[in-house]
Amino acid sequence: MSKLPTGWMIVNLGKVADFEMGQAPPGVFCNKDGNGTVFVKAGEFGVDYPRVREWTTRPLKSAHLGDVLICVVGATSGKLNLGIDCAIGRSVAAIRPSACVSQKIVYRQLQLQVEQLRADSSGTAQGVISKQMLADIQLVLPPAVEQTRIANQLDTLLARVQACNDRFDAIHALLKRFRQTVLSEATSGDLTESEGNAGSWTETTIGAVSSDLRYGTSKKCDYSTQGTGVLRIPNIAERGRIDATDLKRAVFDSKELQKLALREGDLLVIRSNGSVELVGKTGLVTADESGLLFAGYLMRLRVNPLKALPAFIQICLSAPTQRQYIERTAKSTSGVNNLNAEELRALSLLLPTLSKQAEIVRRVEALFKLADQIEARCMTARALAQRLSPLVLAKAFRGELVPQDPNDEPASALLARLASSNTAVAGKHMKKVPVALKEKGQAAIKS
């Protein structure tokens, strides 16, 4: 660590804070009706403050406004929130800073050490952060007045970083809606409306434009280097692409190979899945996947090239209205949602001429490419923005965020005053030993 500014110190958290380890009250004393004390568990941690979802009429361990809450058990260990008046469960601990260190200074410095805390806890049973681990955390302690300046500046800067990240999240949602709108207009004729479409679209079905529709193989596949590659549900990637990098294989006879081998332009359709959002999702086979086979949870839809373009049929199956119909058809209460071959054949669609289909495919691909480029740039910018928070925090606790004032009382004076106060409190509460009992104890020692 670089040299600290004058008046700053490094201290263990245990020297400037107390700890309250949580304890869950019996379930019969917990409710969601607003009766009693707010009850906070790891699942209630929010961005900066806990979400209020549950209450208890029998709080066993409590936190207070001004504490720092930290998850100390399991996958969420190291997650932080600012404290509120509440009861705390066993997965939560309350860090209670003394008068010489502000809540925000502890909170912000712990944010810098979350990954290390998680790493330290991973070697313990259930990934537990112990009270001793918390006590051993090293903090940089600036003078009291400077702590306030740092905390205020961090609040301002980190709020701007969060607002920036929120805007990036909003862009992702906007691009998703943009793609859905493009698909809707592509399948309704609005995308090429200026060119005149009256009378050029006919109503038909998937079955009427297909030349072959069949289920895949049920043969067990593995990661052997022998045999023919078999595409599975995980190979159906985002936005209609096929990703064959994770490929399993099996050995097939010539009859199976002839019957199930894929050709360029085939559509693979997910027919069965626990997630209804995946049922009916398609992947368009390219020359790279030609000759591969496909697994039983997929259907191969081979389009008659004299009636429709495979890429246009894929657009139709991906359009919002068609997706809603597919999900309603496939949805099951058994946990496995299914779209069978007859249901796929019966799906209706509006079909323009082949030349019009080609123009629509071209425009959709161009618009999607533009959306992908915007999204890629946003992801790069968002990754940079997410690095800002730890950089700002590190800068703050090197003494580089706000100017130092030589007139500020040094941190060493704060600690001395804290130690003096603790000694006085301990002396005040110390019980006096009766003289007779003291003499009796001394006699016992001598003997």
pLDDT value of position 195: 59
Name the band, by pLDDT with cuts 50, 70 and 90, for residue 263.
very high
pLDDT at 386: 87
**What is the distance between the alpha carbons of residues 322 and 325, in angstroms, rounded to a whole number?**
5
Residue-wise pLDDT for 150-173, tens only, equals 999 999 999 999 999 999 989 999
Using DSSP, state whether 385 is helix, strand or coil: helix
Angle of helix 103-112 relative to helix 114-121, nearest 10 degrees?
70
- Strands 293-294, 228-231: pairing is parallel
Using CB atoms within 10 Å of the CB of residue 134, give its burial: 0 to 12 exposed, 13 to 18 middle, 19+ buried. buried
pLDDT for the residue 373: 96
Tell me: the pLDDT tens digits for 70-94?
999 988 889 999 999 999 999 999 9
Q: CB-based contacts of 275: which residues, under 8 Å, 6+ apart?
A: 337
Alpha-carbon gap, residue 356 to 192, rounded angstroms: 8
Dihedral Cα 117, 118, 124, 130, nearest 10 deg: 40
Q: Cα–Cα distance between 370 and 169 in angstroms, integer?
A: 18
Domains observed in the chain: 7-143 (3.90.220.20), 202-351 (3.90.220.20)
Contact 82, 154 (CB under 8 A): no
Q: What is the Cα–Cα distance from 101 to 31, expressed in whole angstroms?
A: 35
Report the alpha-carbon distance of residue 66 to residue 57 in Å, rounded.
Answer: 23
- Residues 19-43: what's their mean pLDDT? 95
Query: pTM value?
Result: 0.73
Confidence tier at 446 by pLDDT (50, 70, 90): very low
pLDDT on residue 441: 38
* pLDDT single digits (tens) 95-141: 999 988 999 999 999 999 988 888 887 766 667 899 999 999 999 99
pLDDT score of 1? 52
Query: Which pLDDT band holds residue 427 (cuts at 50, 70, 90)?
Result: low
The answer to whether residue 142 scores a pLDDT higher than 90 is yes
- In sequence order, the 6+-apart residues with CB closer than 8 A to the CB of 235 are 242, 243, 244, 246, 247, 283
The answer for residues whose C-beta is within 8 angstroms of residue 265's C-beta and 6 or more apart is 284, 285, 302, 303, 305, 310
The pLDDT value recorded for residue 124 is 64
Give the pLDDT confidence of 314-324 residue by residue, as tens digits.
Answer: 999 999 999 99
d(CA 378, CA 400): 29
Please, are residues 266 and 305 in contact by the beta-carbon 8 Å criterion?
no
Answer yes or no: are the C-beta atoms of 25 and 39 closer than 8 Å.
yes
Q: How far apart, in whole angstroms, are the C-alpha atoms of residue 164 and residue 325?
A: 37
Amino acid at 296: G
Residue 327's pLDDT band (boundaries 50, 70, 90)?
A: very high
Mean pLDDT score, 341-356: 95
Q: Which of 75-89, 110-124, 255-269, 389-403 has the weakest average pLDDT?
A: 110-124
List pLDDT tens digits, range 188-232. 988 887 655 545 899 999 999 999 999 999 999 999 889 999 999
